[in-house]
Amino acid sequence: MTQHGAWSQVDIGGHAADVFEPATPSEHGYTVLYLHGVRLGRLVDNEAFTAQFAARGLRAIAPMTGPVWWTDRVSPAFDPTLSAERHIFDNVLPYIAARWGAAPPRIGLLGTSMGGQGGLRFAFKHPNRFPVAAAISPAIDYHTRIDEGDAVLAAMYADAEAARQDTALLQIHALNYPRNVWFCCDPQDYRWHDSADRLRMKLYSLGIPHECDLETTGGGHGFDYYNRMAPAAVAFLAERLERERLRVP
């Protein structure tokens, strides 16, 4: 236990997850569901994110799946029968409800890299469940990795086009979208910045409200940049979760 709160590890549906309890939790039960990147970068002992969660009383939960891109495709890299998406819906959300009494829309999505695209994908695919999402360095065009020899993705999809059809950009619906979307990507992140910019242009052309920062730089792709953008990302989540609570249906 620190001045900020405490991280611990739990088992959810046979898979590990990190859990953060702030020293003073929000009275409204706001919770952040963090989706990790392809290298399983954890937030345990990460001062940048932990301090932001604690300052706003946000509980956080970070399930671990491995490099399976938070899709609804089964991969032995995670589980022989359960997809990462089903794990979230069938196991993680019920765990959050049982432990903290929190349920959508009081759960905000936060992801970095692979998890950034996963969070956007969940929000666009299930906007009523996840009306609040923040993504840092989202690796949106992950289908390009198949032609580069990514064995995990190659086992999940028939080809790169099948994967492209499953990406966040292809989940956007002009008449049914999450009300609160924020994303950022370092201009020096040459691998993923273009796809983040395409997302910005598509949302703009469809008139879908969103906020993004594609100008701030600070380390390219990795935790130097993620940590720099943590205050903006977590502030957006806290503010928009509160806005959703006060929203008149």
**Band of residue 249 on the pLDDT scale cut at 50, 70, 90:** confident
Q: What is the CATH number of the domain that holds 224?
A: 3.40.50.1820
Distance CA 120, CA 217 (A): 21
CB within 8 A of 212, min separation 6: which ones? 182, 183, 184, 196, 199, 200
Query: Is a pLDDT exceeding 90 seen at residue 11?
Result: yes
Nearest Cα to Cα of residue 4 among 36, 46, 35, 33: 46
The 10 Å Cβ neighbour count of residue 97 is 15
Nearest Cα to Cα of residue 134 among 194, 47, 213: 213
> Distance between terminal CA atoms of the chain?
39
Query: Is a pLDDT exceeding 60 seen at residue 39?
Result: yes
What pLDDT score does 236 carry? 98
- Please state the domain count of the chain: 1
What pLDDT score does 4 carry? 86
Distance CA 30, CA 238 (A): 8
Nearest Cα to Cα of residue 119 among 100, 143, 137, 99: 137
Query: Is a pLDDT exceeding 70 seen at residue 36?
Result: yes
Distance CA 141, CA 168 (A): 9
* Digit-coded pLDDT (tens) for 176-231: 999 999 999 999 999 999 999 999 999 999 999 999 999 999 989 999 999 999 99
* Digit-coded pLDDT (tens) for 131-150: 999 999 999 999 999 999 99
Query: Is a pLDDT exceeding 80 seen at residue 1?
Result: no
Proportion of the chain above pLDDT 70, given as a percent: 99
Q: Which domain holds residue 162?
A: 5-246
Query: Is a pLDDT exceeding 70 seen at residue 9?
Result: yes
The 10 Å Cβ neighbour count of residue 77 is 16
The 10 Å Cβ neighbour count of residue 227 is 18
